[in-house]
Structure formats: C-alpha cells, structure tokens
C-alpha cells in the first residue's frame, strides 16, 4: 500500500467516526450533516480545523502521537478502533506489540485436533490451515472434503450454503467484516490482504457495504446457531490467538 492510499484510508476512517458521533448537546442552529462538525472535533481534540480537514482529505501532513491520541479520545473510539487509527497513521501506539516472524508449524496444525467440538485454525488471511472432523461435518461447503475454497470470508459471502447454515447470517456476516477490519489495520500494507478485500468488494455487495461502514470490533465469543441437516444446532464459540503468532487464531465450538 502506498503512503497516499494509507492517508486516504486514515481520512475516511476519521470522517466516518466523526459523523457517527451524536450531535453535541450545546450545538446551535440547523445541522446539515450527521455527527460532529469538523470545527467541533477540532476544538475537542485541540487541533486546528485546517489540519483536521487536510487529514480527512488524505493530504500529506504531520501526524503526532499526541494529536492522534486526542482524536481517539474525542471520537470515543473503542480499543480496536484506536488500534486501527494508529496503524493507518503508521504510528506506534503504547499498547502495540510486534508479532514474531514465525511460520505455521506442525504443532500448530495439530491444535484443532485437541478439541472434541468443531475447531479450525485460520491464518492471517482468514484461510483455514487445519481443522478437525467435527468442523468438517459442521461447515458444509467450507471444510468438508468436497470443498476447495478454504477462506472463511469467501465462504460466508460467496457461498450460498453459508447463508443457509448460519441462522443469523446478516448479523454474523457484518460482525465478521468488523473483526476482519481490526486484523487489516494491523497490516494495511499487506498486498494479499488488499487483494482479498478488492475481490470480495467486487463479488459481494453485502461485503462491500459492510466494509464501507468502517466498523471495527475485537472478537467475542457467544452463542452460534446453525441450520444443519441434523437440525438446529447450538454452540458456544470461543476464539483463541496463538501466542507466538497472534495473526493465527483457533475458532472452537462447544455445546
């Protein structure tokens, strides 16, 4: 990703979150746009209106960690959104850590087999690298023997079987995109990630609309419902990150 592309992504992100803020209670006059005006955010974050305008326009301006921190606070960003802001600005946030360059090992590929319920291992591109037999039986069209596309996002948005299997598909699909954006913000320069986004945006209107919303969420567990051939199945899902390679994750399901 070029520096120009990164700046435009940052500007779009800030503007989207500025427009999501509820109008200040002290605001006067008729408002023609949703959320906060640039002047209101600039005042709250102690930055100039000109500087904020240029940042939102994707211009090449100096970005200080202090100014970004004030913007994050004024925009009321969640921890995941704050991390996305700093990564798009190519600045180090105090809570950031670097991931060791470690390849997939045999031990990692065997992890899903340690669980009795469905479990799979995803890489940084959300492609399944390993899974157990219960997962293959559950995810028809993705992890079964007859499937060839192992990418979770492509399965959810491009395979009609996913819309049938996932009982709450609209909600789950939107949340997956928000979780994927959190991962993308960690490596926006990754050309393979960008290619995946471009492909999904072209082939799936639902993905493109969800991606344009700029939502960012960390992974959370919870109940998952599946319209399976065996009937309505209920699982409690949990996601585990690999300590030595946090971009890899295990999705596991318990009854």
Residue 41 pLDDT > 50, yes or no? yes
Strand 119-122 versus strand 222-228 pairing type:
unpaired
Same structural domain for residues 132 and 233? yes
Look at residues 57, 88, 119 and tell me which one is the last residue of a structural domain: 88
pLDDT tens string 53-111? 999 999 999 998 889 999 999 999 998 899 899 999 998 875 554 444 456 788 888 99
Residue 64: CATH number of its domain = 1.10.260.40
- When pLDDT is cut at 50, 70 and 90, the band that residue 27 belongs to is low
Residue 176: CATH number of its domain = 3.30.450.180
Please give the share of the chain, as a percent, with pLDDT higher than 70: 93
Specify if 95 maps to a domain. Answer: no
pLDDT tens string 114-151? 999 999 999 999 999 999 999 999 999 999 988 888 99
Domain holding 21, by residue range, is 3-88
Look at residues 58, 88, 118 and tell me which one is the last residue of a structural domain: 88
The pTM is what? 0.72
Specify if 96 maps to a domain. Answer: no
The region that residue 137 occupies, defined by phi over 0 for left and psi between -120 and 50 for alpha, beta otherwise, is alpha
Same structural domain for residues 112 and 75? no
Q: What integer pLDDT is reported at residue 94 of this predicted model?
A: 55
Residue 251 pLDDT > 80, yes or no? yes
* Separation CA 119–CA 130 (nearest Å): 9
Specify if 150 maps to a domain. Answer: yes
Same structural domain for residues 182 and 69? no
Judge contact between 180 and 145, C-beta under 8 A: no
Specify if 23 maps to a domain. Answer: yes
Q: Number of structural domains, the chain?
A: 2
């Amino acid at each position: 990703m070029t520096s120009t592309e990164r700046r435009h992504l940052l500007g779009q992100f800030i503007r989207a979150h500025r427009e999501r803020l509820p109008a200040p209670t002290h605001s006067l006059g008729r408002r023609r746009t949703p959320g906060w005006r640039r002047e209101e955010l600039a005042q709250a974050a102690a930055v100039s209106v000109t500087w904020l305008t240029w940042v939102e326009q994707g211009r090449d301006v100096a970005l200080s960690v202090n100014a970004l921190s004030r913007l994050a606070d004024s925009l009321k960003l969640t921890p995941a959104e704050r991390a996305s802001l700093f990564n798009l600005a190519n600045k180090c946030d105090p809570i950031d850590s670097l991931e060791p360059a470690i390849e997939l090992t045999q031990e990692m590929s065997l992890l899903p087999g340690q669980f009795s319920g469905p479990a799979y291992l995803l890489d940084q591109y959300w492609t399944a690298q390993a899974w157990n037999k219960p997962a293959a039986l559950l995810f028809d069209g993705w992890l079964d023997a007859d499937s060839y596309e192992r990418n979770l996002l492509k399965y959810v948005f491009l395979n009609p079987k996913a819309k049938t299997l996932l009982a709450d598909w609209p909600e789950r699909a939107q949340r997956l995109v928000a979780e994927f954006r959190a991962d993308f913000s960690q490596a926006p320069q990754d050309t393979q990630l960008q290619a995946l986004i471009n492909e999904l945006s072209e082939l799936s209107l639902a993905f493109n609309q969800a991606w344009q919303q700029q939502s960012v969420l960390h992974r959370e567990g919870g109940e998952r419902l599946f319209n399976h051939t065996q009937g309505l199945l209920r699982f409690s899902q949990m996601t585990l990150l690999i300590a030595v390679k946090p971009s890899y994750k295990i999705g596991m399901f318990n009854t």
